[in-house]
């Protein structure tokens, strides 16, 4: 878990440097090697590793627009993920999805820029596993700003009614862009929502990887044993702006300083030291994490850009006329009739 937390933190530090290249002085979001928005998850690593370290490759994970720490903890291919973020042809989505749309079928991972969007597919993956008599589970990560979304609430209900092996993990970083939690949500503890759906709700009050691991173990064990869904909320901290370039004028210095003062990586490192892990071992873990990241980013930057002629490939199942010269394989109306 410590290695993955360090990997995620360093990965984002490196992305930050790459992202800023060419964007200054007026902050042109479309310029540089990583065009578009970039949402970093520094301060949220404990939630990702504490949950994902219970999972196997065939357990599905869906994540929102702030996905890197979860993807790394789930074992997404770091090279192909980096190539995707840099918009390269060998990326997970052939360079067309970008950092909010990473899909790695090898480890059953997907994410989306639409908040709470990952909840229905996670419930669907859990339903599929039960229909196939497999013991795989599914986990949907979302932010506290998404817990008022219909997609989340409907998924909780569906999962509960069908006793699905799914865990909903709310990363509560207190903010939804510039909106503080208390202005949009009536409960302080998001896991209280579980009661209305007759499922257990657990909240881990501090971003402590070990506490998350223990709580998640219980929730994922329940799912794996086919005892139904769980809602788990974890208090995390947003060390940075909502996205790169966010001046955070809405946020008090005290709030930002408090987030920076509590680092879940330092906390886990202290635990490891207490258990006799020495400097050499800790340094070796850090060095290995950093070289893995440097190697993945260097590889990604050498990859070719997609060919503009391929822009519409893999975009439409049934391309509308004008988008492609190829004959469609079937008519949409035909599919609907068959269904
Ligand atoms: C359905 C939908 N509405 C609005 C947005 C715009 N949006 C992007 S991130 C965000 C806030 C998300 O806050 P939270 O869920 O707490 O996640 P965090 O950014 O804090 O990780 C919003 C409203 C969106 N992406 N999807
Ligand atoms: Mg939030």
- Residue 186 and residue 43: Cα distance in Å, rounded? 25
Token pair for 178: 């510039």
CA 330 – ligand 2 centroid, Å: 42
Is the confidence at residue 159, as pLDDT, over 60? Answer: yes
- For ligand 1, pick from 177, 181, 183, 241 the residue to mutate: most ligand atoms within 8 Å of CB: 177
Ligand 2 geometric centre to CA of 170 (Å) = 9
**Nearest protein Cα to ligand 1, atom 24:** 114
Longest dimension (CA), the chain: 65
User: For 151-174, b where at least 16 C-beta lie within 10 A, e where not — what string?
Assistant: bbbebbebbbeeebbbbbbbbbbb
Q: What are phi and psi of 30, to 5 degrees?
A: -90, -5
Q: DSSP code of 258?
A: H
Average pLDDT over residues 279-306: 98
Quote the CA–CA distance of 64 and 111 in Å, as a whole number. Answer: 5
CB neighbours of residue 12 within 10 Å: 24
Count Cβ atoms below 10 Å from residue 72 Cβ, excluding itself.
Answer: 28
pLDDT above 70 coverage of the chain, percent: 94
CATH topology of domain 2-306: Rossmann fold (3.40.50)
Q: How confident is the model at residue 167 (pLDDT cuts 50, 70, 90)?
A: very high
Average of per-residue pLDDT across 309-326: 75
Per-residue pLDDT, 62? 98
For 240, what's the count of Cα atoms within 13 Å in the CB-facing half-sphere?
A: 17
Instruction: Give the pLDDT band (50/70/90) at residue 317.
Output: confident
Residue % of the chain over a pLDDT of 90: 88
Whose Cα sits closest to atom 7 in ligand 1? 115
Alpha-helix residue ranges (DSSP H) falling in the chain: 2-20, 45-52, 68-74, 78-85, 119-131, 150-161, 181-184, 209-224, 253-261, 264-274, 279-302, 332-338
**239 and 42 Cβ atoms separated by less than 8 Å:** yes
* CA–CA distances in Å: residue 324 to residues 47, 104, 180, 187, 330: 43, 27, 45, 50, 14
Ligand 1 centroid to Cα of residue 84, in Å, is 21
pLDDT for 332 beyond 80: no
CA dihedral 101, 297, 2, 261 (to 10 degrees): -80
Mind listing the pLDDT tens digit for each residue in 24-78? Answer: 888 899 999 999 999 999 999 999 999 999 999 999 999 999 999 999 999 999 9
Spatial contact of 45 and 69, defined as CB atoms under 8 Å apart: yes
For the whole model, what pTM was predicted?
Answer: 0.94
- The contacts of residue 77 (CB under 8 Å, 6+ apart) are 92, 104, 106, 107
Give me the residues paired with residue 175 across strands.
180
Residue 137, Cβ neighbours under 10 Å: how many? 29
Using a 6 Å CB cutoff, which residues line ligand 1? 65-66, 113-115, 143-146, 173, 175-177, 242
Q: Is the pLDDT of residue 327 over 90?
A: no
The confidence score (pLDDT) of residue 163 equals: 98
Q: Would you say residue 5 has pLDDT above 90?
A: yes
Q: Are 210 and 271 contacting, i.e. CB atoms less than 8 angstroms apart? A: yes
For ligand 1, the distance from its centroid to the CA atom of residue 204, given in whole angstroms, is 22
């Amino acid at each position: 878990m410590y290695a993955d937390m360090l990997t995620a933190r360093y990965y984002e530090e490196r992305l930050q440097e790459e992202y800023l290249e060419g964007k200054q002085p007026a902050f042109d979001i479309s310029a540089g090697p990583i065009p578009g928005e970039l949402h970093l998850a520094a301060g949220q690593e404990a939630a990702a590793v504490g949950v994902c370290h219970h999972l196997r490759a065939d357990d599905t994970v869906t994540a929102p627009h702030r996905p890197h720490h979860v993807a790394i903890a789930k074992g997404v291919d770091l090279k192909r993920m980096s190539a995707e973020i840099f918009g390269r042809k060998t990326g997970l989505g052939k360079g067309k999805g970008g950092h909010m749309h990473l899909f790695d079928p090898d480890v059953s991972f997907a994410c989306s820029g639409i908040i709470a969007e990952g909840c229905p597919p996670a419930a669907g993956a859990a339903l599929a596993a039960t229909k196939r008599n497999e013991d795989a589970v599914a986990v949907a990560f979302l932010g506290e700003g998404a817990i008022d979304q219909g997609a989340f609430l409907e998924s909780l209900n569906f999962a509960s009614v069908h006793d699905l092996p799914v865990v909903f993990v709310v990363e509560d970083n207190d903010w939804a862009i510039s909106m503080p939690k208390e202005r949009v949500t009536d409960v302080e503890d998001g896991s209280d929502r579980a009661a209305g759906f007759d499922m257990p709700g657990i909240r881990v009050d501090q971003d402590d990887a070990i506490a998350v691991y223990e709580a998640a173990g219980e929730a994922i064990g329940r799912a794996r044993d086919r005892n139904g869904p769980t809602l788990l909320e974890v208090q995390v901290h947003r060390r940075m702006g909502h996205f790169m370039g966010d001046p955070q004028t809405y946020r008090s210095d005290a709030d930002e300083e408090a987030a920076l003062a509590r680092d879940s990586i330092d906390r886990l490192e202290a635990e490891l030291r207490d258990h006799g892990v020495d400097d050499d071992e800790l340094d070796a873990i850090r060095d290995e994490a950093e070289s893995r990241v440097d190697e993945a980013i260097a590889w990604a930057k050498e990859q070719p850009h997609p060919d503009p002629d391929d822009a519409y490939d893999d975009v439409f199942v049934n391309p509308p006329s004008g988008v492609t010269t190829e004959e469609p394989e079937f008519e949409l109306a035909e599919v609907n009739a068959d269904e």
